[in-house]
Amino acid sequence: MKNKRSSALKKTAPLLLLAAPGLLYFLINSYIPMFGVFIAFKDVNYAKGIFGSDWVGFDNFQFLFKTTDAWIMTRNTLLYNLAFIVIGTICSIFIAILMAELLRKLYSKLYLSGLVLPNLISMVVLSMLVFAFLNADSGFINKSILGPLGLPEINWYSEAKYWPYLLVFIQMWKTAGYGSIVYFASIAGIDKSIYEAAKIDGAGKLRQIRTITLPLLKPTVIVLGLMSLGRIFNSDFGLFYQVPLNAGALYSTTQTIDTYVYRALMQLNDIGMSAAAGLYQSLVGFVLVLVVNAIVKRVNSENALF
Amino acid sequence: MNKKKGITALLMSVALAGSLLTGCSSSNSNSASNGDDSAKVEEIVFAMPSFNRIPDDLSKVTDAINAITVDKIGVKVDYRIYGPADYAQKVNLALQSGEKMDVFTTLGQFSNYVSKNQVAPLDELIAEHGKEMTAILEKDFGPDLLKATTINGEIYGIPVNKGMALPINFIYNADMLNSAGLSSADIESVDDLSAVFEAVKSAHADVVPFGPINVNPSDTNLVNLLKGTYKVDFLTDSSGVGVVVGDDGKVVNFYETDIFKDGVRMMRDWYNKGYLQKDAATTTITSMEMLSSGREFSYLGGYSGMEIGKSISAQTGRTIEAKRIAPFYFDTSAVNSVSWMVSSTSKAPEAAVKFLNLLYTDEKLINTILYGVEGEDYVKVDEHHVKFPDGKDANTVSYTAMFSTGIVGSESLQYQFEGISWSDIELKLRENKETERSPYFGFIFDQNAVKTQMSAVTNVVNQYLPGLVTGTLDPEAIIPKFVKALNDAGAADIIKSKQEQLDQWLATQGN
């Protein structure tokens, strides 16, 4: 018994050692801070310290639900994230398939780097790029496209109705290339002999994609989809705050939970309330992952995440 | 099974190591303040915001500061300096994590610090160790200055002692005004501006006649203009939902008053006539930049003294003049927005107050903090004026915090930069005493009871106000929506809570 244990440890020791940095990272960055969730239920008073502060139950959560904005920001957060997940997955797979076909050719590496590049641009810089296009007085779209075509100029930063499309487009431009890398890797991992067999059976390129590539990508899509679902109540602050230039007139389509919390608490500076918002977002995301995973498991247990 | 145990053991050891490490760091930071021995020098942390380049090496200035403080009050200062963008964050982080932080300033949120008990009451300590400070505050501002930082009868902070009246000035490009055939005599009040803009616009078709002073969010200073002109007291929260107009003691929603509506209509009129940029509500270019590049004619700004035209001219390279068009009105937040405070967790509050006392009264200390070491970072020109050593400027001296003159100490003891007339400082101090004070000066609103509503209301204000004050939104259609959104967000609760607190406060003022 004793021998068995020590030999098992010997076997796993290198693996444990490999996992150690990752575990340590999670422990320090995710698990130890989790201890702080109780702050969400406290009225923080610095003289008493966080442990001595009074419990206030769910008071800190009220500000998230009490306003008419609650519905708008929840709707925006959910719909944008759904759109990003669905459209993002489609775009990324599309790019990955194109790249996989290109790989044998000379410049594929160049293309790949080019596609990843937008992801490295900071949102603040990106917001200025967007501004150069949409600026009312000297923007490219107003002056060089709408003007010469004889169409009326649009005041982009005060018309909320265009922003759902703009934001989805910007997000795709920025992240689709980067997102395709994982799919590209999965496609590269598909056994080439399957394609050869299909070719012999007379399947064309499109047929191969439809019946081989896409079904084999399904597990990757589900894993990545589940992981993004976990963050469905979170949003990219830069995209929703910086890119619309914090324009009040656009709040109805650009307000998300994160920007709301930021704007609401900037003045109050109340860590209890911000902790409450964070807890709420994480909890909903967690529940969503569990539910969707359970559904996936029921439909096809092999594809479930856990 | 075995594997699981292994992992658990690993996790445990990591957790242990982690707690050991944190244990170390906290004992380290404590050991510095363990000097209970009265003969020993006490140590405090002093955090200062600087609007200049943050120097790489503070040791020389810290030594110079300590040479003064150790000698005079037996306090050793750990001097920290942060840029304005991360100052509040650094200080808050230190306070939240329990790191040592003794003396710090608010950049605008005085009552928040008090309501969360982050700062210590200072009454007794000031009476004992701050007599000189109280005297100079009284001399430069008046006996009521500390009322602005008194909550429930306790003083929690010391407002910076400077020219605090900021009347609204019309800042304009004098060359453009002259070439449009007008002169400064044609500008007397805000009613004259429309005609001025029209003339400038027809003389310079490609120039924007009027711009917002701040961007992101855009602010044309309309609200401050109305505050000064119509004596509106915002009662210490900047949301504007509960204000008192004049002295009737009735708390109302500023955005429902005719004052606000008329002001916004004027802006809308200017906007429709093309006096503002089309994207004034969302532009990212400040008026200062527009003025420098010669693309803008004017903006409204709140400035103390009479020299502002000169200094903006120097910054922009244009001939800029300033004309006062509205008076200033002292409400509490006008005075306490920059206040020095002592942390409630400070181990050495006495030393901190002794240091504050010097910070307001010791000419040498104040100017060391502002300009650095004499002879190296600055040289004296005469009694009141300094300049950089030959061949040096603000970017090449090893230390300067000269843009922080409005943040630290007493302006009457600060050296001025060469070229600024000393009589302007005297004027500012005189205006401190002469400017009209709101009858509610000293009232501080405690937002704690309505913080849910405050957060919701703040959001609504951010959504609508920039568009309204720049004229980009149509007031007739939008103000009703705005007011409705405010009411949905709980404006009535805030007004009610404020009215109650104000009535209580007024009752205590009677004695």
State the average pLDDT over residues A252-275: 82
> What is the rounded CA–CA span in Å between residue B364 and residue A268?
37
Partner A contacted by B453 (CB < 8 A): yes
Q: Which of B15, B281, B459 sits opposite A247 (nearest CB)?
A: B281
CB neighbours (10 Å) of residue A45? 17
Q: Nearest-CA distance from A182 to chain B in Å?
A: 29
Residue B1 lies in a domain: no
Residue B21 lies in a domain: no
Closest C-alpha among B92, B332, B96, B149 to residue A266: B92
Closest C-alpha among B150, B137, B107 to residue B332: B150
Residue B437 lies in a domain: yes
User: Which residue intervals of B44-100 are DSSP H helices?
Assistant: 59-73, 84-97
Give pLDDT, residue B25: 39
Residue B357 lies in a domain: yes
Residues B83 and B127 in one domain: yes
Report the half-sphere exposure of B303 (CA within 13 A, side-chain side). 22
> What is the rounded CA–CA span in Å between residue B287 and residue B271?
16
User: Which chain B residue has its CA at the smallest distance from A260's CA?
Assistant: B459
Locate A286 and state its tokens.
């967690």
Query: How many structural domains does chain B have?
Result: 3
Say if CB A251 and CB A134 are below 8 A apart: no
CATH at residue B436 = 3.40.190.10
Pairing of strands B385-387, B416-417: parallel
Partner A contacted by B208 (CB < 8 A): no
State the average pLDDT over residues B172-200: 92
Residue B4 lies in a domain: no
Pairing of strands B379-380, B385-387: antiparallel
Question: How far is the CA of B200 from the CAs of A97, B204, B208, B279, B295, in angstroms?
Answer: 60, 6, 9, 20, 12
> What is the rounded CA–CA span in Å between residue B104 and residue B46?
6
User: Which residue intervals of B346-447 are DSSP H helices?
Assistant: 349-361, 363-371, 422-434
Q: Nearest-CA distance from B132 to chain A in Å?
A: 29
pLDDT band at B31 (very low <50, low <70, confident <90, very high): very low
Q: Which of residues 239 through 298 in chain A touch B, CB cutoff 8 A? A: 245-249, 251, 260, 263-271, 273
Locate B65 and state its tokens.
């500061």
- Asked if B116 and A44 come within 8 Å (Cβ–Cβ), the reply is yes
Q: Nearest-CA distance from A22 to chain B in Å?
A: 12
% chain A with pLDDT above 90: 27
Considering Cα of B154, then B158, then B163, then B165, what sign does the dihedral take?
A: negative
Pairing of strands B154-155, B150-151: antiparallel
Q: Which of residues 29 through 48 in chain A touch B, CB cutoff 8 A? A: 32, 44-48
CB crowding B315-328: b at 16 or more within 10 Å, else e: ebebebbbbbbbeb
CB crowding A119-133: b at 16 or more within 10 Å, else e: eeeebeebbeebbee
- Which residues 6+ apart lie within 8 Å of A236 measured at CB? A123, A171
Give pLDDT, residue B39: 53
Q: Which of residues 381 through 440 in chain B touch A, CB cutoff 8 A? A: none
Contacts of A12 in chain B (CB under 8 A): 2-3, 6
% chain B with pLDDT above 70: 92
Closest C-alpha among B493, B426, B374 to residue B67: B374
Say if CB B455 and CB A264 are below 8 A apart: yes
Q: At residue B53, what is the residue type?
A: R
> What is the rounded CA–CA span in Å between residue B419 and residue B247?
41
Residue B85 lies in a domain: yes
Instruction: Identify the domain boundary among B390, B424, B442.
Output: B442
% chain A with pLDDT above 70: 96
Q: At residue A245, what is the residue type?
A: L
pLDDT digits (tens, 9 = 90+) for B78-128: 999 998 878 888 888 888 778 899 999 987 678 888 888 889 999 999 999
Residues B142 and B38 in one domain: yes
Question: DSSP characters for B168-193?
Answer: EEEEEEHHHHHHTT--GGG--SGGGH
pLDDT digits (tens, 9 = 90+) for A43-58: 887 777 778 888 888 8
- Which residues 6+ apart lie within 8 Å of B83 measured at CB? B49, B50, B51, B54
pLDDT band at A173 (very low <50, low <70, confident <90, very high): very high
ipTM higher than 0.95? no
Residues B93 and B148 in one domain: yes
Q: Which of B10, B447, B458 sits opposite A264 (nearest CB)?
A: B458
Give pLDDT, residue B363: 92
State the average pLDDT over residues A181-192: 89
Mutate to test the interface with B, among A28, A46, A137, A257 (most CBs of B within 10 A): A46
Instruction: Identify the domain boundary among B442, B476, B491.
Output: B442
Say if CB B299 and CB B287 are below 8 A apart: yes
Instruction: Identify the domain boundary among B427, B442, B457.
Output: B442
- Asked if B6 and A268 come within 8 Å (Cβ–Cβ), the reply is no
pLDDT band at B37 (very low <50, low <70, confident <90, very high): very low
Residue B197 lies in a domain: yes
Give pLDDT, residue B417: 83
pLDDT band at A105 (very low <50, low <70, confident <90, very high): low
pLDDT digits (tens, 9 = 90+) for B224-275: 999 999 999 999 888 899 999 999 899 999 999 999 999 999 999 999 999 9
Mean pLDDT check: name the lowest of A66-75, A177-186, B351-360, B456-465: A66-75
Say if CB B315 and CB B288 are below 8 A apart: yes
B288-292's contacts with Cβ under 8 Å and 24+ in sequence apart are B288/B312, B288/B315, B288/B316, B290/B208, B290/B211, B291/B171, B291/B173, B291/B316, B291/B318, B291/B320, B292/B316, B292/B317, B292/B318
Say if CB A232 and CB A82 are below 8 A apart: yes
Residues B191 and B322 in one domain: yes
Residues B432 and B461 in one domain: no
Name A54's bridge partners.
Answer: A43
Who has greater pLDDT, B182 or A65?
A: B182
Give pLDDT, residue A104: 61
Residues B182 and B325 in one domain: yes
pLDDT digits (tens, 9 = 90+) for A18-38: 999 999 999 999 899 888 888
Mean pLDDT, rounded, of chain A: 86
Residues B187 and B324 in one domain: yes
CB neighbours (10 Å) of residue B1? 7
Contacts of A152 in chain B (CB under 8 A): none
Expressed as residue numbers, the domain containing B497 is 231-274+448-511
Rounded to 5 degrees, φ, ψ at B455 are -65, -40
Say if CB B463 and CB A158 are below 8 A apart: no
With residues binned 3-state (H G I as helix, E B as strand, rest as coil), the percentages for chain A, rounded to 5, are: 80, 0, 20
Residues B393 and B453 in one domain: no
Mean pLDDT, rounded, of chain B: 86
Say if CB B479 and CB B465 are below 8 A apart: no
Pairing of strands B232-233, B320-326: unpaired
Question: What single DSSP character describes residue B119?
Answer: B
Residue B258 lies in a domain: yes
State the average pLDDT over residues A118-144: 89
Mean pLDDT check: name the lowest of A41-50, A87-96, B367-376: A41-50
Residue B223 has pLDDT above 80, yes or no: yes
Residues B216 and B260 in one domain: no
Residue A88 has pLDDT above 60, yes or no: yes
pLDDT band at B384 (very low <50, low <70, confident <90, very high): confident
With residues binned 3-state (H G I as helix, E B as strand, rest as coil), the percentages for chain B, rounded to 5, are: 50, 15, 35
Q: Nearest-CA distance from B100 to chain A in Å?
A: 13
Residue B3 has pLDDT above 60, yes or no: no
Question: What single DSSP character describes residue B285?
Answer: S
Q: Which of residues 102 through 121 in chain A touch B, CB cutoff 8 A? A: none
- Asked if B458 and A263 come within 8 Å (Cβ–Cβ), the reply is yes
CB neighbours (10 Å) of residue B281? 29
Residues B395 and B315 in one domain: no
Residues B359 and B401 in one domain: yes
pLDDT band at B285 (very low <50, low <70, confident <90, very high): confident
Taken in order of first residue, the domains within chain A and their CATH numbers are 39-303 (1.10.3720.10)
Contacts of B3 in chain A (CB under 8 A): 8, 12
- Asked if A46 and B2 come within 8 Å (Cβ–Cβ), the reply is no
Residues B270 and B292 in one domain: no
| Three-state helix/strand/coil letters over B370-393 | HHCCECCCEEECCCCEEECCCCCC
Cα-based torsion angle of the residue sequence B152, B156, B160, B165 in order, rounded to the nearest 10 degrees: -20
Say if CB A155 and CB A273 are below 8 A apart: no
User: Which chain A residue has its CA at the smallest distance from B464's CA?
Assistant: A248
